[in-house]
Copies of this chain bind each other. A is one copy, B any other.
Amino acid sequence: MTTSAETTPPVDDRPKPPVVDERDIDAEAAQTDGPIDEASRDLLVEGVRTALDGRWRSTRDAVRENSDRADLLPDPSRTLAEARAHTLGVLKELSQQGFASAGFAADHGGTGDVGASITSIEMLGYADLSLMVKAGVQWGLWGGAIENLGTERHHEKYVKGTIDLDVLGCFAMTETGHGSNVQALETHATYDRDTQEFVVHSTTPSARKDYIGGAAEHARFAAVFAQLITGGPGEEATSQGVHCFVVPIRDEDGNDLPGVTTSDDGYKGGLAGVDNGRIMFDHVRIPADNLLNKYADVAADGTYHSPIENPNRRFFTMLGTLIRGRISVAATAGAAARKALTIATRYAMVRKQFEAPDGDDEIVILDYLGHQRKLLPLIAKSYAIAFAQNELTGELHDIGRVADDDSVAGRQRQLESDAAGLKAYATWHASHSVNVSREACGGAGYLDENQISIIRGDIDVFTTFEGDNTVMTQLVAKELLSSYADDVRGLSAGGWVRFIAGMARDVVAEKTAVRQVVQTLLESSDEDTDKSNLTDRATQIRLFRNREDHLVRTCAQRLRRATDDENDPFEVFNDAQDHLLKVGSARTERMVLESFVQAIDECDSRSAQQLLGKVCDLYVYSTLEADLSWFMMHRHISVERAKAIRRGVNDLCQELRPYASVLVDAFGIPEALLAAPMIENG
């Protein structure tokens, strides 16, 4: 191979070929040159897939078996009405198979396996993103609100019907005027002492519930987020903040109930099978019992009480229980990216264009460096994200099974921040990967029969729903900078800046314990990243950690300095917004890398471990390359090392090229769901 250097560098940071351990029977499969025999290849695929499948691999296998059917794929010839009816039909089929039980506690009528629940919803993303969203709304959002915000009376009344679809619900949080700023919702639920009812009302046109999945057609019930207005005897009725209420919206024939006006969001950029719609409430009366009252309740006389004193903390505690939706969306985005990349990679291995060196035939396009550079770094990033996702799912599952004490509160808070960060990171990655995959397949990629164009339309809104990505990234940074302080959430931008300015101590990036595998790596390596080799995992981790620390520290200093000058706190915040967003993404990238390192460490197969090591290298090199200007600007990476990183990406692409099919096969996507005539046509 010729060198990619424009000038010869003094240090060689290019990745080394993997060291083959002769005691390892799979070793030959992990060599990067030469052909791999079929048996070793199968072992390698299995080893990598096992690692990637994670703790809920049996769930994955079960969904794989049930979903290996081309009839599950979206059909663009359906009208909107047909697409919606079809999706509901498949949902009913899933329900009959017991698909939804895992998401609900055993004593509510489920099996109580949160990890399995998220994993199986993610797997639906390989079939049809509309189906995933429809399932996510019914069982994750509506069901999750009942499960996590409700109490026994709600569980008894709704859970069984929710599982078997006798009760079709929707999740009416977002309003036309408010999406990101949920605390400012304009729907009111005013307690009427005389009748012991709540009066649910859309107080302004912008209080209209909007984009609500299920609201256009199918949902009969809504979990409505509204300002709870009440006061005890002699008190003025005021808002106690946003709470969630069960509001019946349609009768059994699908007609709007009195006072409820639903309408249809109509055609969208994708997700044709989801009936998004709008709801206006005109003084709709519901029994007081319909308040989902796990965290707050209203006595008959109107007195409001809650075990959580602080209104902000109460609000965020309630929101926090809904984190499952955010994790599911991120997980599914990962699945969509993997599917598009699999189709594009397979096409690139059969599609030929322009003549090969010997002039007899043309060359497959994956042999071009330019094409490798389009797809392989995205495949590597998909691995990284999938491992991080598995960890988050596991953490959510585990938190739900331990006693509720202070340490759990800390873990929950950390999980919420991590989930926000990964949601943004994974959905941006998915959107980008699907775009690149479409373009990499040329005109064929634009035909719906080859699926990528459909995924492209469907995945687009994942960067928006369950939390706008920019807001999510900023949330990570704000949490980090304020050291997860208890009362900081819900503050305005200016208020938050004032809080930061008032913090006595220096902020440190890492609040949680350093995981053992990272600790061990760091201890056995040189702290000076300039001196250590870039192919060392510890150096890689240090670069990611140092970036995060540097950004957190300088951002905090900057906010403090600016407030010292008595500038307007909002302006201080706003001028630093790009810095803040960078804090958030650097934090998430470090978390993702460390999850990857952990997964490699835990991998049972030596050959899979070696291959994953290379994939991790490509993730690191291409991630550093994408942010090279920052690393150079802040002197974390020298000019020479920067050049070596660019070359390293090229080298790793060429090294991993022979493993491209192994890497996409190991995603384990059911073959029937990967149908694409262009791959047969070449």
Contact = CB atoms under 8 A, between A and B. Distances in A.
Contact of A4 (B4, B76, B576, B629): B576
Nearest to A474: B370
A581 interface: yes
Contact of A369 (B174, B362, B574): B574
A2 B567 contact: yes
B464 A443 contact: yes
A225 interface: no
Interface in A422-462: 431, 435, 438-439, 442-449, 452-454, 456-457, 460-461
For chain A, what secondary structure do more than half of its interface residues adopt (helix, strand, loop), or is it mixed?
A: helix
A681 interface: yes
A570 B76 CA distance: 42
Interface stretch (A31-39, A204-212, A338-346): A204-212
Contacts of A643: 633
Nearest to A271: B446
B354 A180 contact: yes
Contact of A461 (B76, B176, B446, B568): B446
A44 to B, nearest CB: 26
A439 B457 contact: no
Given A4-B579, A77-B267, A446-B268, A181 B354 contact: yes
Given A353-B178, A355-B492, A578 B206 contact: no
Interface string A166-195: 000000001011111100100000000000
Query: How many subunits of this chain does the assembly comprise?
Result: 2
Interface in A340-360: 352-357, 359
Contact of A2 (B4, B205, B456, B562): B562
Contacts of A572: 2
A476 to B, nearest CB: 14
A578 to B, nearest CB: 6
Interface in A205-227: 205-206, 210-211
Interface stretch (A303-311, A390-398, A465-473, A660-668): A465-473
A10 to B, nearest CB: 14
Contact of A356 (B179, B435, B570, B635): B570
Contact of A632 (B179, B571, B575, B633): B633
A267 B354 contact: no
B438 A460 contact: yes
Interface residues of A, number: 102
Contact of A368 (B269, B453, B574): B574
B682 A206 contact: yes
Interface string A142-180: 000000000000000000000000000000001011111
A581 B4 CA distance: 13
A485 interface: no
A664 to B, nearest CB: 21
A228 interface: no
A176 B368 contact: no
A112 to B, nearest CB: 32
Contacts of A578: 4, 369-370, 373, 646, 650
A334 to B, nearest CB: 18
A367 interface: yes
Contacts of A650: 575, 578
A376 to B, nearest CB: 13
Contact of A439 (B463, B474, B581): B463
14 contacts: A1-B575, A2-B576, A76-B266, A79-B79, A174-B443, A181-B353, A268-B447, A269-B447, A368-B574, A369-B577, A370-B578, A439-B469, A457-B457, A578-B650
